[in-house]
Amino acid sequence: MGNWKKIRMARSRVAILIMGVVLWCCLTTPAKAEYMKYKDPKQPIPVRIQDLLDRMTLEEKIGQMVQIERKVASADVMKEYFIGSVLSGGGSVPAPQASAETWINMVNDFQRGSLSTRLGIPMIYGIDSVHGNNNVYKATIFPHNIGLGASRDPELVNKIGAATALETRATGIPYAFAPCIAVCRDPRWGRCYESYSEDPQIVKDMTDIIPGLQGNIPTDSPKGVPFVAGKNNVVACSKHYVGDGGTTKGINENNTVIDWQGLLSIHMPAYHTSIMKGVSTVMISYSSWNGIKMHANRELITGFLKNTLGFKGFVISDWEGLDRITYPPHANYSYSIQAGIHAGIDMVMVPYNYKEFIDGLTFHVKNNVIPMSRIDDAVRRILRVKFVMGLFENPLADNSLVDQLGSQEHRELAREAVRKSLVLLKNGQSLNRPLLPLPKKTSKILVAGSHADNLGYQCGGWTIEWQGFNGNNRTIGTTIVAAIKNTIDPSTNVVFKENPNAEFVKSNNFSYAIVVVGEHPYAETDGDSMNLTIADPGPTTIRNVCGALKCVVIIISGHPVVIEPYLASIDALVAAWLPGTEGQGVADVVFGDYGFTGKLPRTWFKTVDQLPMNVGDPHYDPLYPFGFGITTEPTTRQSDDNPFLSISSYFN
C-alpha cells in the first residue's frame, strides 16, 4: 500500500505541474485581438457606424458632438472628454507666422490624445478657409467671394476650391468652413463680401467650389450622402443656413423677414445644389427667420434640411451659436442646449465652455428631456463624415503637402481670379475716348491712395486676423503699386504718394494717375455700415488727383460704396473688390495685357437711401445695374500714342 500511495502522490504532482504549465502558457500567449467592424475599411460604412455606435457610452457620444477652440484644447482634454472636433477661430494660430510643419505638429498632438481613448475615434480639425487658407502665413489669398461672383466663372471657382483644399491640408487640417452661400440682399451687411451675388442663380453656380474642395462626387453616389475624395481634399461646409443674407437693413445676425416662397426661391436653392454635390456639413446661421432663431428652428433644420432635402452629413452650429439663441447671449444656457440639439444641430462649436455644455447635455439626456435617439442621430452623422473622408485610416497628417502652401501655381490661379473679378464701370469721359488700357510707356505717372501699397487692405477681413490687418508685413503678396512697377516700361517714372495735395499733383507734370482707395478691412458685425462710404482720406485723394489729371480710380471694397459725388471728375472707374495677395492681376488688366471681363455681381446704388435694392425690384434705379461691366480687348500697346482697341459694354 505504501508504494501505491507514493505512486498516487507522484501522479498528483505531475498533474499539478502539467496544469501549471498549461496555465502559464495561457497567461503568456497573447490573446487574439477582438475583431471590431468599425476599424475594418472593407466593411460598408453603415455597418462601421452602427458597430461603433453600439460600443459607445453616453459620455463618448456627447464628446463627439463637441467642437472646441484650439486655445483650450490639449491631448489630455481630447482624451478625458472624448472631444470630437477642434477649430481655429479667426486669427487663432499656434505661433505668429507659424510654418506648415508647426500647424501639423499641433493638429497631430491633439489627434494623438483622441487616438489614445478606449475606442480611438479620431477628431476632425476645422478652420475658416474662406478665401484660401487665410489664417496661415504665406498662404495664397484668393479674392473674396464677391469678386469671384463678378467673374461668372464656376470652373475657376472649382479650381480655387481644389487649391484651397491642398493649402489647408498642407497645414494638417481636413475641414474648411466654406463656402458661404449667402445671397446678400442688402450691401449694408458686413458679410456681403462673403456672398457671391444678390442673384440666387449665380450663388448656385458657384457651389462648384464644393467638388473643388471635396473632390468630384461619383455619379452613382446616393443623394444627400457626404463625399470626400481623399487626403488631397477637405470636408466642406455650406453656410449659413438659411437666410443670413436677407436680414432687415443688412444688420448682421438679425431677422430675415420673408415668406416661405421667398425663402425657397432666394435663399434655399444653393443648399439643395450643395447637397446634390455631396457637401459634408452645413453651418447654421445666427440670424432668425420671421422672428425664430435659426439655431432653434427644428422645422427648417430637421424638417426641411434633413428630411425633405435628404441631407445626410452633419449640421454644425456657428461660434457660440447656442449661446445666442437667447438675449443676452448665454442668459439661459440650459434652455439653449435643449433648443439647439432638439432643432437638429449635431456638432456644437462651443468653443470654450465645453464642460458646461457637456454637463448640460448629459443632464438633459439622463432626464429624458432630449431622447437618446436624437444623440444617436447626431453621432451617426458625425461618424459618417469621419468614415467617408478616411479619417479612421489616416488620422495623422504628414508633411507631404507642405510645399503646396503659397505655391507659385496657386498664386498664378489667384492672379487669374483677380483679372476676371475686375469690373470696369467707367472708361473715359466719352465712349469714343477711352482711358483704359493705360500705356506702359510714358514719362511719369502718379500712384496715390491709401490702398495702393497695403496688402492687408487689399485682402480684407478673414486674413491672418479675423478682422484682417493693416500693412505689408503680416504675410506674403504683391501690392498694387508693386504690380504697377512690375508692369510698366522701365523708362516710365512711377511716383507713389499716398495722399498728395492738389499743388503736388499740378506741379509734377504727370501723364496720368492711378488712385487706389476703398474700405478698411472688417469681418461680420464690424462691417455693418449704414453709410457705405470710402474710408478717409480717400475722397480727398480723389478730389486732389482727379481734379487735376486724367485718373483711374480703383475701388478696394467688400461691397458697392458711395461714388456718385466724385464720378464726374473720374475718368475711369474699376471695382476691384477684395483681390487678395495677388495684386499683379490688377495691373495685368489695367495696362492691357488682358481685357476687362467682369460683371457686377450686385447692384451698385446711387445713394444708401435706395437700399435695399436688388435687380427685379419695382423701384430699381441704380447707378450701375446688376450685370453691368465694360469689356475691353487685350492690347500690346506700349506707348501713349498707340490706338486703343475696341470696347463694349453689356449686361447679363
Query: Could you list the active site residues?
Result: 318, 524
Question: Three-state DSSP class for 442?
Answer: coil
Helix (H, G, I), strand (E, B) or coil at 546: helix
Q: Are 271 and 242 in contact (CB under 8 A)?
A: yes
Q: Distance between CA atoms of 340 and 331, rounded to whole angstroms? A: 14
The string of DSSP letters for 281-307 reads EEEEPSSEETTEEGGG-HIIIIIIIII
302 CB-near residues (< 8 Å, 6+ apart): 343, 344
Residue-wise DSSP of 44-75: -HHHHHHHHHHH--HHHHHHHTEEEEGGG--H
Indicate the SS3 state at residue 88: strand
Distance CA 314, CA 124 (A): 12
How many residues are there in the chain? 652
Cβ proximity of 603 and 625 under 8 Å: yes
Q: Whole-angstrom Cα distance, residue 438 to residue 618?
A: 39
CB distance 111 to 77 below 8 Å: no
Is 122 in contact with 395 (CB distance < 8 Å)? yes
What CA–CA distance (Å, rounded) separates 522 from 545?
A: 27
Q: Rounded to an integer, what distance in angstroms lies between the CA atom of residue 169 and that of residue 173?
A: 5
Instruction: Quote the strand ranges of 452-571, DSSP E.
Output: 493-497, 512-518, 551-556
DSSP state letter for 119: S
Spatial CA neighbour of 330 closest among 352, 346, 345: 352
